[in-house]
């Protein structure tokens, strides 16, 4: 990529590259929207910069027609793919009350870890007012609150609740809770 007076120059993606990007980031069948957004984050959605025309050329990334239309209607300059998707997300679901916390029955500790990460992602999305950039800090740095802990306990089966009820909450982040859960013995 060449450098000019205005910063790094960008070459536009080819149609073949856009097809590969769309296929890579497309929502899987039966994948919940928040799980999909978490997967986009995990797979580098903040590192992939697109303009609004390239975003529209990705086509339907989800099974949600309204969300797809919102994405195609976004206008603006280069932004990270995840930033575009969060912009459409906040238009569709203006607050966490519109989407609610994810439901995931925690039968094994891996489910508990995934639920904590999904809740952290939702908290992160609504952490700051919508802007041109992705929220800061990161989903892993979001505080693990009493409300999140209660939601986790409500989703866990009884034998896991015994291990999860004693998680320390003071100064805990989503990442610290994920690490603590991974060390627990059910």
Predicted confidence (pLDDT) per residue in 129-149, tens digit: 555 566 668 899 999 999 999
In terms of pLDDT, which residue wins out, 131 or 18?
Answer: 18
> Is the predicted pLDDT of residue 2 greater than 90, yes or no?
no
58 burial level (CB within 10 Å; 0-12, 13-18, 19+)? buried
* 161 Cβ contact partners less than 8 Å away, ≥ 6 residues apart: 153
DSSP annotation of 13: P
Q: 29 is written with which tokens?
A: 């069948």
> pLDDT tens for residues 27-72?
999 999 999 999 999 999 999 999 999 999 999 999 999 999 999 9
Segments making up each domain of the chain, as ranges: 11-92, 101-183
CA angle 158, 104, 148 (to 5 degrees): 80
State the Cα–Cα distance between residues 14 and 11, nearest whole angstrom: 9
């Amino acid at each position: 990529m060449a450098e000019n007076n205005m910063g790094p120059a960008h070459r536009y993606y080819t149609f073949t590259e856009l097809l590969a990007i769309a296929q890579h980031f497309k929502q899987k069948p039966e994948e919940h929207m928040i799980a999909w957004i978490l997967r986009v984050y995990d797979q580098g959605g903040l590192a992939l910069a697109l303009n609004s025309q390239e975003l529209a050329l990705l086509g339907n990334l989800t099974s949600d027609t309204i969300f797809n239309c919102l994405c195609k209607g976004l206008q603006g300059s280069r932004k990270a793919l995840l930033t575009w998707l969060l912009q459409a997300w906040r238009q569709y679901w203006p607050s966490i009350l519109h989407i609610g916390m994810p439901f995931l029955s925690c039968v094994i500790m891996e489910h508990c870890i995934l639920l904590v990460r999904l809740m952290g992602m939702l908290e992160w999305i609504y952490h700051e007012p919508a802007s041109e950039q992705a929220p800061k800090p990161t989903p892993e740095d979001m505080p693990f609150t009493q409300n999140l802990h209660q939601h986790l306990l409500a989703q866990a089966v009884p034998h896991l609740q015994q291990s999860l009820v004693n998680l320390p909450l003071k100064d805990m982040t989503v990442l610290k809770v994920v690490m603590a859960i991974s060390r627990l013995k059910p």
